[in-house]
Copies of this chain bind each other. A is one copy, B any other.
Amino acid sequence: MKTSSKSELRKQQILTAAEKVFAKKGFQEATISDVGREAGLSEATIYEYFSSKEELLFSIPGETAKKTREDLKHILRHVRGAANKIRSIIYGYLWFYETHPDYASVSLLILKQNRKFLETQAYKDVKKLSGLLTEVLQEGKNKGEFSQEIDVYLVRSCILGTIEHNVIRRILLGKPQNLTDLTDPLTDLVLNGILKKPPLETMDFHVTVKPATQKKPAGPKKNKR
């Protein structure tokens, strides 16, 4: 399925080591020597596979975003309703970051703030991945499931921003302990907002019925008034 030449395996081995080392020490603080030690290889060997420290860094994402997108698309095919799809996507992101903490560190703490990374293919893949969210939001808006007033880009940034904010907190402060637990609260928050809803169930209808006379249905009043 995947080209697993010996060379390709070595590359993966190095990338895994680099991910771990960069996640732990940061990019500048980590040395190629560190990566070599972690990978059980000499520095020179690293350079046989990656032409520079920076290229090594930029190679870590690889096809990750692309594959994650495929996986997500596959899952979404079986999910009904934009709201549920949002939930699935949020879960997808959180689950991924939770199960790939080193990748999360590299991605959110190192690559995210690197201007040169913006020019790599991997970044384009990341953008395309987030495009999935935009599509679902647009779909929900088009189909009337979501309000017509939402700005899909803002909502997307809200969802991703919240996720990333929490993942970073997790990385640096250790809390929240569990990321995927945020799925429902975050989804509900985005879907419903935080305002106390006018509790439909407490509406009182006072109906007086007079026998043998005309009747009218009581039209409820608008909120905004």
Contact = CB atoms under 8 A, between A and B. Distances in A.
A87 B165 CA distance: 20
Nearest to A155: B194
A189 B155 CA distance: 8
B172 A166 contact: no
Given A191-B194, A196-B145, A165 B168 contact: no
Contacts of A9: none
Contacts of A168: 112-113
A155 to B, nearest CB: 6
Interface residues of A, number: 69
A41 interface: no
A16 to B, nearest CB: 22
Interface in A135-189: 137, 140, 144-151, 154-155, 157-158, 160-166, 168-169, 172-173, 182, 185-186, 188-189
Nearest to A217: B205
Contacts of A137: 194
Contact of A158 (B145, B151, B189, B218): B189
A215 interface: yes
Contacts of A218: 205, 207
A118 interface: yes
Contact of A182 (B110, B154, B191): B154
A70 B205 CA distance: 46
A213 to B, nearest CB: 9
Given A118-B172, A200-B222, 13 more contacts: A26-B113, A140-B194, A147-B192, A150-B189, A155-B189, A158-B189, A164-B165, A190-B194, A192-B195, A199-B220, A200-B223, A202-B220, A205-B218
